[in-house]
Chain A
Amino acid sequence: MLVWILFLLCQVGAPALAQDLCQRDAPNGYKVRISLKTALGEDAYEWNQSEMFFFQATMAFAMRRHFQMETYNVDNIILCVQTSRVSFWFVVTSPDNTTMLIPKADVEKAVRMSRHRINNAFLLSDRTLEFLGIYPTLAAPVNPDTPPWLIVFGVVIGAVCAGIIALLVSSLLQKRRKEKGMTEDGQDEEDMQVKGVENGINLDGTYNRGFTDDDRFTKL
């Protein structure tokens, strides 16, 4: 009889005890806030008891993953203070002794380790599945060897320098061609004089070399 009363008390008392362990602002508990509509919009699923069970299972998994020796179970994750916001508090009890709570720091380490898996289980992100008090580790910045802007800069400056050199060289060639062209014109004029083309009229008859302009080559 006594044993039966004790058994009844345990059945009633255990959840009551659990209720005492988990309460708002529990020293070893964390508050979780979930924003389904913000994350998923129209595809948001309904948050019900099954989802809560899934959460317990996920947390148990996270604890197992962190403390590899100990076998946590769904019963070790106690939830309370649920609101329609969807927010609730949870505490983690030790698998060996259900009255003993796992300290806050250990829970935090476990959550941090499996944060990515927890988020993905619920199709949420760090922002929409919040563990109040556990800040997400920021992604390490990707540092490429060469900053991308230097590459573009190199391309542009290479093109510009090539352009400057091309234009300057073509200017120089143009000038040289002009100078060469002027001396060639001078030579043509002298040849025409020797051949006897005076005033544009070709003089017929034999050409008397005695009267050529020998002085052309004997300048003082």
Chain B
Amino acid sequence: IIRLSSLPNPGLDDRIPSHQELERMEKEEAGDRPKWDNKTQYMLTCVGFCVGLGNVWRFPYLCQSHGGGAFMIPFLILLVLEGIPLLHLEFAIGQRLRSGSVGVWTAINPYLTGVGIASLLVSFLVGMYYNTIIAWVMWYFFNSFQNPLPWSQCPVNANLTDLVSECARSSPVDYFWYRDTLNTSTSIGDSGGLQWWMVLCLLCAWLLLYVCCLRGIETTGKAVYVTSTLPYVVLTIFLIRGLTLKGSLDGIKFLFTPDLNELMNPSTWLDAGAQVFYSFSLAFGGLISFSSYNSVHNNCEQDAVIISIINGFTSVYAATVIYSIIGFRATERFDDCLEGNILALLNAFSLAEGNITEGNYAESLQNLNGTFPETIQSLDLKTCDLQTFLSQGVEGTGLAFIVFTEAITKMPVSPLWSILFFIMLFCLGLSTMFGSIEGTVVPLQDLNIFPKRWPKEAITGIVCLVSFIIALIFAQSSGNYWLALFDSFAGSIPLLVIAFCEMIAVVYIYGIDRFNKDIEFMIGHKPNLFWQVTWRFVSPLIVLVIFVFYFVTKVSSNVTYIAWNPSSEDFPTLEVLEYPAWIYVIIFILAGVPSLVVPGTAMFKLIRRCCSQFHLNSVNPVNLRMENNSISGHLNLPN
């Protein structure tokens, strides 16, 4: 294997500040670059950016569906081999080159500007749909200030004779989510118009984000004291509450029961790798920006390790809390199911109450079935299995807005728990949005798209306004389907491409030797063998493997989505529909454009340089004469 230390990169020293310049800037505190008030703000902002909704509603599901406790093994291994090296890389390069994503990659090599632009596009697209989820969270939060909670019972129909049919056939929580909140249409093509209450919530979400990001880290740095710490407080409160509820320990046991056979399944490792990658909010450009506001000698290696540990710990902690509540809900459902069956038996055979209990249910059922099989058949008893209830697909919005809200309605003093839960989700989402906005606004400033004298407030305002207007697609009846589309495509493939390019850029184009020397300058010692091996081979390889598998799976499979259709046969099970043909254009815009911008910008710059050189060479003699005349004209020199 030829040891490729680095590719030729002329002019690098002219584009980046040297170590002496950095020392000087540090001492004189020169430059108008914003700075963190203290280290705590920086750490809380990074923790807030990394810890997001995915820790609460994606990781627990993956854990439970891939063999419980056994999932920890691939997760922790990939955390160490993939997450920590990438995090350290982004922190170090941001701190060294003191610029946002576009600035950093342009400084390393002008042809790499595309990587920064791709980060900008991805941050923008992901920010749009992520803030819509926050708008949904706010809607539920606003509706939590009433007792009983609106999703605890079905509404009555117009002539007060019966419950609304759509609700009676599914459940109050499903009805409130799909009808009262989303007013969802039956397919993505059927737009159904804007839902005014959603528009209001979306407006509120974007205004709130604007007020927190108004002056960049000056305002977000204050906001993170609340948004990054409150989730942990709420999680602890829920843990204590959850452990006192019946069935919570069943949930936790179910979550962590290891099934080592799952380790043989490659999709377990892929999902673990993808989860680690997305959980760290890498490749958005936000982390590079945040660490560029640090002092030059900040210990970025230590920061990377600490934040990775916090992120991993938060995932496990949140999973424990979520599954204790899920265990409670499953037990309640199981008890209800059993009670329903027992009642049916008592009524059918006119037995005294207390004759059949949970304890002797199986026995009694067998006896009765032996003597009166036809009656038992006609009763149509449901099978009640605790394991089924525990494993009911609980991830994403389904977990937060359907399963968890149902569990909350069964707890005493429900409005309080609802308010706490949605405040926690809101804080988790908002602190991630800070990173998204940072990853959008700073590259726009670096690219000089807006005039330099425009204040940061104006640029942030324009970004928020444009995002809000485009995000109105999510406020339509079909908004839920659009959001799922964005989530699958904008937030997956492009990030893997960007991360891979980042590593190649730093290790092979910037030069790993130069990078090592920089880190030695910044923190005092050279990165050890672990970092060398992971940066050069292991992490890029893992990212490449995940990308290839993702790409192949997405391209080869028929792209489908699930829709809520009250008139479908399997209602309330969601209907599986295929995307219409014109969606593929949208998919290309979401996933293809950011990925193709990376080579595209390089080509564009190459062509421009070749063209301008060609132009210069061909008209040179004429130009020289004309230039001479003009110079003599201005300076009144004798001819």
Residues in A neighbouring B162, C-beta threshold 8 A: 138
Asked if A201 CB lies within 8 Å of chain B CBs, one says no
Q: A137-B160, A152-B142, A157-B207 are in contact. Are A35 and B353 (CB under 8 A)?
A: yes
Interface residues of B in 500-521 (CB under 8 A from A): none
Asked if A220 CB lies within 8 Å of chain B CBs, one says no
When C-beta atoms are compared, the residue in chain A nearest to B354 turns out to be A37
Q: A140-B160, A153-B201, A157-B204 are in contact. Are A33 and B347 (CB under 8 A)?
A: yes
Residues in B neighbouring A156, C-beta threshold 8 A: 138, 142, 204, 208
Taking a contact as CB atoms closer than 8 A, the residue among B145, B155, B163, B219 that contacts A148 in the complex is B145
Complex-state Cα separation, A35 to B354, whole angstroms:
10
When C-beta atoms are compared, the residue in chain A nearest to B352 turns out to be A84
CB pair A152–B145 under 8 Å, yes or no, is yes
Contact with A along B106-143 (1 / 0, CB 8 A): 00000000000000000000000000000000110111
Asked if A85 CB lies within 8 Å of chain B CBs, one says yes
When C-beta atoms are compared, the residue in chain A nearest to B456 turns out to be A171
Interface residues of B in 197-218 (CB under 8 A from A): 197, 200-201, 203-204, 207-208, 210-211, 214-215
CB pair A138–B143 under 8 Å, yes or no, is no
Complex-state Cα separation, A149 to B418, whole angstroms:
14
Q: A37-B353, A83-B350 are in contact. Are A138 and B160 (CB under 8 A)?
A: yes
B472 shortest CB reach to chain A, Å:
17
A186 shortest CB reach to chain B, Å:
21
CB pair A167–B350 under 8 Å, yes or no, is no
Complex-state Cα separation, A149 to B197, whole angstroms:
10
Interface residues of A in 80-107 (CB under 8 A from B): 83-87
CB pair A149–B142 under 8 Å, yes or no, is yes
Asked if B12 CB lies within 8 Å of chain A CBs, one says no
Residues in A neighbouring B161, C-beta threshold 8 A: 135, 138
CB pair B156–A140 under 8 Å, yes or no, is yes
Complex-state Cα separation, A208 to B259, whole angstroms:
98
Residues in B neighbouring A5, C-beta threshold 8 A: none
Complex-state Cα separation, A175 to B453, whole angstroms:
12
When C-beta atoms are compared, the residue in chain A nearest to B146 turns out to be A148
CB pair A85–B142 under 8 Å, yes or no, is no
Taking a contact as CB atoms closer than 8 A, the residue among B156, B201, B204 that contacts A160 in the complex is B204
CB pair A85–B160 under 8 Å, yes or no, is no
Asked if A163 CB lies within 8 Å of chain B CBs, one says yes
Complex-state Cα separation, A171 to B458, whole angstroms:
11
Q: A138-B163, A156-B204, A171-B215 are in contact. Are A149 and B143 (CB under 8 A)?
A: yes
Taking a contact as CB atoms closer than 8 A, the residue among B145, B163, B347, B455 that contacts A85 in the complex is B347
A182 shortest CB reach to chain B, Å:
15
Q: A153-B200, A171-B215 are in contact. Are A160 and B353 (CB under 8 A)?
A: no
Interface residues of A in 119-164 (CB under 8 A from B): 135, 137-141, 148-153, 156-157, 160-161, 163-164
Asked if A71 CB lies within 8 Å of chain B CBs, one says no
When C-beta atoms are compared, the residue in chain B nearest to A83 turns out to be B350
B430 shortest CB reach to chain A, Å:
12
Residues in A neighbouring B351, C-beta threshold 8 A: 84-85
Residues in A neighbouring B347, C-beta threshold 8 A: 33, 85, 87
Asked if A193 CB lies within 8 Å of chain B CBs, one says no
A144 shortest CB reach to chain B, Å:
9
CB pair A85–B353 under 8 Å, yes or no, is yes
Q: A160-B208, A171-B455 are in contact. Are A85 and B352 (CB under 8 A)?
A: yes
Asked if B37 CB lies within 8 Å of chain A CBs, one says no
Q: A85-B347, A148-B145, A167-B219 are in contact. Are A160 and B200 (CB under 8 A)?
A: no
Asked if A168 CB lies within 8 Å of chain B CBs, one says yes
Asked if B457 CB lies within 8 Å of chain A CBs, one says yes
Complex-state Cα separation, A110 to B570, whole angstroms:
41
B299 shortest CB reach to chain A, Å:
33
Asked if A36 CB lies within 8 Å of chain B CBs, one says yes
Q: A148-B143, A168-B214 are in contact. Are A160 and B163 (CB under 8 A)?
A: no
Residues in B neighbouring A141, C-beta threshold 8 A: 155-156
Complex-state Cα separation, A153 to B203, whole angstroms:
11
Q: A148-B146, A153-B204 are in contact. Are A87 and B350 (CB under 8 A)?
A: yes
Complex-state Cα separation, A200 to B200, whole angstroms:
63
Q: A84-B352, A85-B351 are in contact. Are A163 and B211 (CB under 8 A)?
A: yes
Complex-state Cα separation, A157 to B197, whole angstroms:
14
Q: A85-B353, A138-B163 are in contact. Are A167 and B204 (CB under 8 A)?
A: no
Asked if A212 CB lies within 8 Å of chain B CBs, one says no
Interface residues of B in 327-350 (CB under 8 A from A): 343, 346-347, 350
Complex-state Cα separation, A85 to B138, whole angstroms:
49
B512 shortest CB reach to chain A, Å:
43
Taking a contact as CB atoms closer than 8 A, the residue among A36, A148, A161 that contacts B353 in the complex is A36
Asked if A38 CB lies within 8 Å of chain B CBs, one says yes
A39 shortest CB reach to chain B, Å:
10
A160 shortest CB reach to chain B, Å:
5
Complex-state Cα separation, A140 to B156, whole angstroms:
8
Complex-state Cα separation, A33 to B349, whole angstroms:
12
Complex-state Cα separation, A37 to B141, whole angstroms:
38
Residues in B neighbouring A36, C-beta threshold 8 A: 353
Complex-state Cα separation, A153 to B139, whole angstroms:
9
Complex-state Cα separation, A24 to B457, whole angstroms:
80
CB pair A38–B353 under 8 Å, yes or no, is yes
Residues in A neighbouring B214, C-beta threshold 8 A: 164, 167-168, 171
Taking a contact as CB atoms closer than 8 A, the residue among A33, A138, A153, A175 that contacts B142 in the complex is A153
When C-beta atoms are compared, the residue in chain A nearest to B157 turns out to be A138
CB pair B455–A164 under 8 Å, yes or no, is no
Complex-state Cα separation, A85 to B350, whole angstroms:
5
Residues in A neighbouring B457, C-beta threshold 8 A: 167-168, 171
Residues in B neighbouring A139, C-beta threshold 8 A: 156
Residues in A neighbouring B156, C-beta threshold 8 A: 138-141
Complex-state Cα separation, A150 to B139, whole angstroms:
10
Beyond the given A84-B351, A148-B145, A149-B143, could you list 11 further A-B residue pairs with CB under 8 A, ordered by the A residue number?
Answer: A83-B350, A85-B353, A86-B352, A86-B353, A138-B163, A152-B145, A156-B142, A160-B211, A167-B211, A167-B214, A167-B219
Ranked nearest first, the 5 interchain pairs of A and B with the lowest CB-CB distance are A83-B350, A149-B142, A84-B352, A37-B353, A85-B350
Q: Which A residues fall within an 8 A CB radius of B?
A: 33, 35-38, 83-87, 135, 137-141, 148-153, 156-157, 160-161, 163-164, 167-168, 171, 175
List, sorted by A's number, 11 A–B pairs whose CB atoms are closer than 8 Å.
Answer: A35-B353, A83-B350, A85-B350, A86-B352, A86-B353, A148-B143, A151-B145, A152-B142, A153-B204, A156-B204, A160-B208
